[in-house]
Structure formats: structure tokens, C-alpha cells
Amino acid sequence: MKKTIVVMPVANEEETMEAVLTEIMELPYDNLYVYPVIDSYSKDRTEEIIRQMSEKYDRIKLIFHKESRGVITCYLYGFKQALADGAERIIEMDGGGSHKPSEIPQFIEKLDEGYDCVFGSRFMEGGGISNQPLYRRFLSSGGTILANLVLGTKLKDMTSGFEGFQRKVLEDMNLDAILSRGHMYQTEMRFYCRNLNTIEVPITYVGSKSSIKLKSVTEALRLLFELKKNEPNVRKTDKVD
């Protein structure tokens, strides 16, 4: 298997961190690495647990983002580190248990088949959501409908954070030009990748106690109408060799 790095921003995940990392390490791949990206926002034992796990498994590498401005900057910083370390594929996922490590193989399978981007979908056949309030489901499904309408995309899930990319896809992006710093980020990435060879795979999202502030929703709506204008700043090419 080509070198694949899982990038997962984490903060205050001491309850789930060891189990998530262990499950990934037990997948049948000897070239699968995990880069948990953490910043000063995390106040519990998450960093300590990752360091202990990295001593046990040499395929786990703690990334500390000193200049973090939130979870999205941690994603992008993790991408840059993974590219610098020779990742041929990069998988993005949540580290708090919302995404199932057992679903990683389907992303690897589709990347092996040659797809440029593999997007996890909660709203296609085989996908689903558990332990999440109705309003969160409405925001996710409604956000997908609105995004497809405004951006001309045709995906079943425009807001899922479980996705995989071939190296070339991220190399051909100016990651510093990404506008989003919150929930709009996943939609923004899918928009910029819409002309590439993409596919969706079903995932089951496990909800958390986190809530969404009204300010985040209004900010996402504002950015939705700026993505087309910003695309030339981000996309270097429309095709992946």
C-alpha cells in the first residue's frame, strides 16, 4: 500500500484517544500512519496519551500546532506535515470517536482504484447518523441541499469531515488561501474538488455533545457565497494526473 497518513485534529479527547489510535493501528496496513494534531486549547491528558501511544507505535506522530487559530488550521497544518513527510494519500477524520476507524479501509480501497478524492457520506445508502439531535441533522442535510444549489455540486453530503485525498490534490491547492475557519470548511474543500475524479462512500457518524452557535451558521452562509470568487486563489489546476 502507498504511504497513507491519517490527519486528525484532537483536543480534550482523553476518553477516546487511546481506543481510536489503537483501532487504527490494528488495521491490516503496515504503511498507514496517524498524525494527531493538537494545540494549546487541549487541557486534559490527550497529549500525554498520544505521546505514550507514539512510543508504543512508531506509526503515530504527535503534531503540535503552536500557531493554531482553531480546528481548521490544525487540519491544514497536519496536511502540510503529511505532505512534507512523503504521504501519497491523506485521510482526514475526527479523533473524538465521531468517525469509525473501521471505515478507513473503504477510503483506502477507493484511493487504490484511482479516485482523486473519497468523501464520506451520511446520507447515501449504507450511511447514517447516531446520537445526534434533530436540529444537527437538519443543519447537515439542509446545508448539503443549499450548498449543492448555490455551488452547482451534486454530492449527497457536503458537510462530512471524513474524507481522503491523493497527494496531488492537496499539492495543487494553496492551503493558505482556504477561507473557512469553522463548519464551512468541508463544503469548501468539496467545492474546490468538484471537477476531479471523486466518489462518496457511506459512513456512520456518531454524534457528540458539542453544539453549534448561531454565529457559526451565519458565518457559513456568508462564506458559501464567496467560494466561487475565492477559487482562483486556491485551485492551481483542475485536473490530477
3-class secondary-structure state, position 10: coil
3-class secondary-structure state, position 34: strand
225 is a domain residue: yes
Q: At residue 212, does pLDDT exceed 70?
A: no
230 is a domain residue: yes
User: pTM here?
Assistant: 0.92
Give the pLDDT score at 238: 52
For residue 172, CA distances in Å to 47, 83, 89, 158, 220 come to 31, 12, 14, 21, 24
13 is a domain residue: no
Average pLDDT over residues 167-191: 95
Nearest residue to 44 (alpha-carbon basis) of 100, 96, 93: 96
227 is a domain residue: yes
188 is a domain residue: yes
CB-CB contact of 192 with 114 (8 Å)? no
* Rounded CA separation 162/90 (Å): 11
Structural domain of 240: 122-159+172-197+205-241
* Rounded CA separation 69/1 (Å): 34
pLDDT 10s digits, 58-85: 999 999 999 898 899 999 999 999 999 9
Non-local (6+) Cβ contacts of 26 within 8 A are none
- Structure-block grid coordinates of residue 30: 503496515
Give the pLDDT score at 131: 75
Give the pLDDT score at 241: 43
22 is a domain residue: no
Q: Please state the separation of Cα 173 from the chain's center in Å.
A: 15
Give the pLDDT score at 240: 45
97 is a domain residue: no
Non-local (6+) Cβ contacts of 128 within 8 A are 122, 202, 204, 205
226 is a domain residue: yes
pLDDT more than 70, % of the chain: 92
- Structure-block grid coordinates of residue 196: 476531479
> Around 156, how many Cα atoms within 13 Å sit in the side-chain half-sphere?
16
Q: At residue 140, does pLDDT exceed 70?
A: yes
Question: What is the tally of structural domains in the chain?
Answer: 1
Give the pLDDT score at 23: 97
Cα angle 39, 44, 45 (rounded to 5 degrees) comes to 95
